[in-house]
Amino acid sequence: MEALIKEMEAYAAENHVPIMQQEGIEFFQKLVEKEEIRSILELGTAIGYSAIQLARLHPDIHVVTIERDEERYQLAVENVKRSGLEKQITCIFDDIMNVELSDSFDCIFIDAAKAQYIRFFERFEANLKPGGVIVSDNLKFHGLVGAPLIKSRNLRSLVRKIQGYIDYLKTRDDYETVFYECGDGVAVSRKRI
């Protein structure tokens, strides 16, 4: 398993595939263990890195993960198979906004198109169990959120949308959100009971 993880990290670095930073994934793993999270919906599979890193923590953990990029999806399916965790990880190839799920989850992990975080949150919060958590990654966006000068207009727009999502989380009184500096910036939003 460790060899596969290292191989995935190297592939991600080489091919500019966004995976959770080491510090971020370790934080997430501790959260899953501490909260005894057993069901996770992941929005944005990429190559299956975080799904594998979370599912391997306990044989009762089940991850449903959605990816719309066909090449990444195929790689994720292959990596899941190689990890031996295919009974615990369900990969769905589709656009996140097209997916209808009736299941409820202990945790929803948002790590897909950054500009769509609010839409993803609102689309799937009904699938969160009472007392469950929504984990959002990349809220620092490589240190650019809160940076004074960003030359690229597209990048400025994206950073504005991430800042808008942070502000949105702060206004959601039905959730208690804590922001963590680890990795690329992680928020944990707990649904109030």
Q: What is the DSSP string of 85-142?
A: -TTTEEEEES-GGG------EEEEEE-S-GGGHHHHHHHHGGGEEEEEEEEE--SSTT
Q: Domains of the chain (ranges plus CATH)? A: 2-191 (3.40.50.150)
* DSSP H/E element including 191: strand 186-191
The closest alpha carbon to 137, from 36, 54, 39, 193, belongs to 54
With vertex at residue 163, the alpha carbon angle to CA 50 and CA 120, rounded to the nearest 5 degrees, is 50
List the structure tokens of 178. 């804590």
User: What local confidence, expressed as pLDDT, does residue 156 receive?
Assistant: 77
**pTM exceeds 0.75, yes or no:** yes
User: What local confidence, expressed as pLDDT, does residue 160 receive?
Assistant: 87
Q: What is the pLDDT along the chain (193 residues), one digit of tens a residue?
A: 999 999 999 999 999 999 999 999 999 999 999 999 999 999 999 999 999 999 999 999 999 999 999 999 999 999 999 999 999 999 999 999 999 999 999 999 999 988 899 999 999 999 999 999 999 999 988 666 666 666 777 777 878 899 999 999 999 999 999 999 998 999 999 988 7
